[in-house]
Chain A
Amino acid sequence: MSQKQYWKGLEELNNTAGQDVATNEFKEDLPFDLSGKLLDAATPRRDFLKYLGFSTAAAMLAASCEMPVRKVIPYAIKPEDIVPGVPNYYASTYADNGEYCAIVIKTRDGRPIKIEGNEKSSVTRGGTSARVQASILSLYDTARLRQPYAEGHEATFEAIDRKVMEGLAGAGQSYLLTGSLMSPTTREVINQFIAKYPGVKHIVYDPVSYSGMLLANEACYGKRALPSYHFDKAQTIFSLGADFLGTWLSPVEFAKQYSLGRKVSAKTPKMSKHYQVESIHTISGANADERAVCKPSETGAVAAALYYAVTTGATPSFASKKLNEVITKAAADLKKGNGLVVSGSNDVNVQTLVNAINDAIGANGTTVNWAVTSNYKQGVDADLVNLMNAMNAGQVGTVLIHGVNPVYEYYQGAKFADALKKVPLTVSFASHMDETAQHCKYVVPDHHYLESWGDAEPKTGYYSLMQPGIAPIFKTRAFQDSLMTWSGAGMSYAQYWNQYWMNKLGGQENLDRALQDGVIEPAGEMTMGGAGFSGNAAVAITALQARKMASAQKELVVYEKVSMGRGAWMSNNPWLQEMPDPITKATWDNYVCVSPKTAYDLGAELTSITEVDNKKHVLKIAANGATVELPIVVVPGMHNEVIAVALGYGRTEKVGRAAANTGKNAYPFLAWNGTTFDNYAAANIEKSGSFYDVAITQTHHSYEGRPIIHEYTLEEFSKNPNHLVEERVKELGHYAALPWLEHGAKEESADIASTDVKVPATDKLEEGFREHGTLYPNFESPGIHWGMSIDLTSCIGCGACVIGCQAENNISVVGKTHVLKAQEMHWMRIDRYFSGMPNDPDTIQTVFQPMLCQHCDNAPCENVCPVAATPHTSEGLNMMTYNRCIGTKYCANNCPYKVRHFNWMDWNGADCFDDNLYEDGRRDDMNDDLTRMVLNPDVTVRSRGVMEKCTFCVQRLQDAKLTAKRENRPLMDGEARTACQQACPTDAIQFGNVNDRNSQIFKLRSAEQLERKFYVLEQIHTLPNINYLSLVRNTDQIAAAAVEVNGEMLPVNDSLQVNHI
């Protein structure tokens, strides 16, 4: 409920001294010498004036002499389907090592500039993820290989082809090592290649392995495959450490399904119930209704306990009360039917138990679909280990490596590199000179997926076509083309692809239609089917009990970040590097996540367990035979005995500037257990005594503790859905009927202010407050009035909107140095608030709130601008006119939502002076002419010294209006969509014209979600055009109250005794 206390970090909860820093405009002391005589200061006034005069004169000289002569160069021969200035859209497919998303590529004048989800796909249903959004930037990655290499030198394809074909025909076993492939034509090409060279063995390897699941499914159901999951059909979801909303298997698909089962309103107060038991804090855990933590080594025991609770009704007996409670409750709910249990464990036995539970609760055929299997992951870990042994034994003649990077991604990368040296012929198809390519004789770079023909079969029978949005930028060659050349196919892959699909679809017309749609899917609902379970739970439990963890201080979990995933191309993507992690809000680095208690026990003093201070203690971790040093980041909600490190960092310099020299590689911590790789290991930790800066964004924009989130349990909400309306009436009701107003004011006031509120009264409430809450005249919107609604229940905090916004609006990357100074530019941020007791991870509940310019109709920023650079439009937009702004920053100071961002530097070369361009190393590729091709030509690139903020994607609104005008018709609802709305995989964001009474947004605000609607800081009469819908959690337990701690700090120790209140 509303009295629940939220905190962004421990310092806010404890209100410690460090907190003051967050409220200041500048995080550091300013370089002004206020003591002593001014003339003795570093920059005396006279010098200042001299420089000022000189620079003004110089600028005038430089600027006023001549206008540059510009050229306008039309096509030599204009392609018929391109109209300069009008975007073309091509349906395609994002397929990256088993990660799938159906997409639409937006191209302008022949270059891809934005990626949207393809709504025709029944798998991803128009959703995207941050990684899919950011993949457009990787097309223009300057570190991409620009030609083939032979033994480190530039070479031609012909020369390499000759050598490779000789080698393939030579002695020794040949191996083709790839990531999980979903493409049917690529599989065919590989088959033909193997037919030509019969000795070749094809090995599939997933850096983040799912072989535990695959092997368990093979044992239980006779198929080495993954089923389709239906989170939308599940009433009860139990996730044992699977971050299915963030990183597990197919998060875009699952997020969409998950949100469909959780669209709650006063009329239908029903939603699925989500239990999460995990060791670290993931976004799935943050969204869970009930959450408990366990050690990763206990995962098997938890699975077993749940199995017994479901089958025999046995009560679990863990030391943690909350864990027992969650398992018992979940078992009861799961037994009611429509349950779904998933696990992120890579242990065959755990997955066998999960299968057994799913079978016991009848999930097979209802929420787990074996009729349509998924092809996301196919790798089995043992194959790679065997390859490694074979290489070491000198039995291998050739290794061709595509899509994976074992020297970096294998737990013994250095040993793999050594083994590679014993192989006579090694070929990499990597797009970057990655760690493996550096050790390969030949590098034949593959196209970027936006330059490629291709296809994917994410689920059996569900196809998705890939077509290029641009011709290959560099001298690269499709992986399939290389194989076909070597197998002497006599045609190109594009031709083969065309032939394959022409045959399959029966003619050009069908192929054209399929290309336009992007997907080929069976009509109607997906067929459902179960499978006969033949696994042995008892054996699995015995095996799990036999496993013993080496005794150590802590257990270390290796996890994937939502942004960075397994590493690969993501490592060198500045957008993803600077995307704040949903939970830690940290950018540009990896670090050790520790619980507040662990930090305290380590003797990390206040300044470095809080987020306000950048300086973090560095921890020395020894696990699995590897030792690294990483800074700590305190994450409430982590198990107290667990620490966690993310994958994807610690890359070599050749991978790219953004990837280089940051963080540490966590793959060495993946432990080989004889069957699969475990994603946890026993670890010993030690404070190294040094410090390291980690750039964390959450504390950058402070609300000073004002209430901005409303949260209810489902029970409360269904009992009294009008609670929020009542609160709003209490606060604002008197404005609706002021005593001096005419027309029977008294009756109305009685009506509205009475405690048993009639819902329709909110209309008058808002209208009255709008008119009478201010001295200013009311602002009219005669035509369109734009409005946005954000559903806090649907928002899972994944950050797809943040990157979607960045891609659409040319938002600058500022680099770690400036994130440290709180100067990041994201127009949209997702605020993360914790509640509960920091030292008890079971009590932690986490809330996400997307925050962007609220486009206030009575905007505080507008009134204070001395040059009227930020006025209001008749459509309700709060404008920001860059060319008028002189950079006083008054507006940012006066903005109660802290959504304005100032260009402290010239991030993109928008200024006419080259010397102004800001350079710091890791972000500099953003200034490269190649990378700048990603810029949206409809949005101004902002120069140094101006303020900027969300525009509601005004370029899209203008475009939609213009299309309507050209077609001589009114604007249709849903025609104008913002980038964040389109990127969102859970449809948490709705947008439209509020003046249109038939629009979705009007209906939502006035009827469908009237009860959940609230405006942030409504009482200060800013009249925001963005409303939020209250968060509803399907739990009977009121969120834990925050602990009152008046001591100096250390709520950790004090409140240790408090436990549950």
Chain B
Amino acid sequence: MDYPLLHVLHRDVEKQFCLRYMKIGLFVPCYVDALYPEVGVATYKLLRHYGLDVDYPEKQTCCGQPMGNAGFQTMAHQLVENYDALFQKYDYVVAPSASCAAYVRFFHPDITNHACKAAAKTMDVVEFLHDVLKVDKVPGRFPHKVSVHNSCHGVRELGLSSPSERNIAPFSKIKDLLGLVEGITVMEPERPDECCGFGGMFSVEEPDVSTRMGTEKVNRHIATGAEYVTGPDSSCLMHMQGVAKRQGLPIKFIHIVEILAAGL
């Protein structure tokens, strides 16, 4: 829908107007649903805080990435069709999981062999807040030192931050958002975007390499002096949390929306 009159109005008015009429579909990926529902809750509360109309279609399950990355993309076919049918009516689909959002956006069309309306509108919550809502205030107050975990698919597929391999002007949507949080101290580990070694079923097919990578990554986060590791992807956090717990490494893990929405 186009509102030509709006062009003469003040940009903020336009923004408020559009936000009011925007319908958001909330996609809470399967493992977040089962293991980290608080991340889904924080996302919902945060989007509502910005006055958005948020809906959660209850028949949603999984985006199909676990099967796809393991080599069974064909088993994900029906899930992808279901996703498209469930979510295509929304203006945006927002998911608090960078890797799932990237899989939907970049892999779904190849799996179905047709354009996926929902996939084109799916965004990770960080890029949605940063690029669409362009928020300049967040409700969260978080007087702690955190170390940012730049998840691979967030960095290299969604472009949440500039990949260290590339010669492009450095940016980080994650740090931009965390910078709005009152009281926070934001750190980054040495090798800021090296993989933590999760890789979906990589972690069970190559458990030794996966654990070794996870251990090194957790130790680099600890070396920043941070109390928390935070990032846009609970799957990386889950992997590192499992490794840290096994080895008794002293650091906590928290999804970035839980920080942005702290206190809501």
Verify that A and B bind, or say they do not.
no
Write the residues of chain B forming the contact surface with A, with a CB cutoff of 8 angstroms. Answer: none
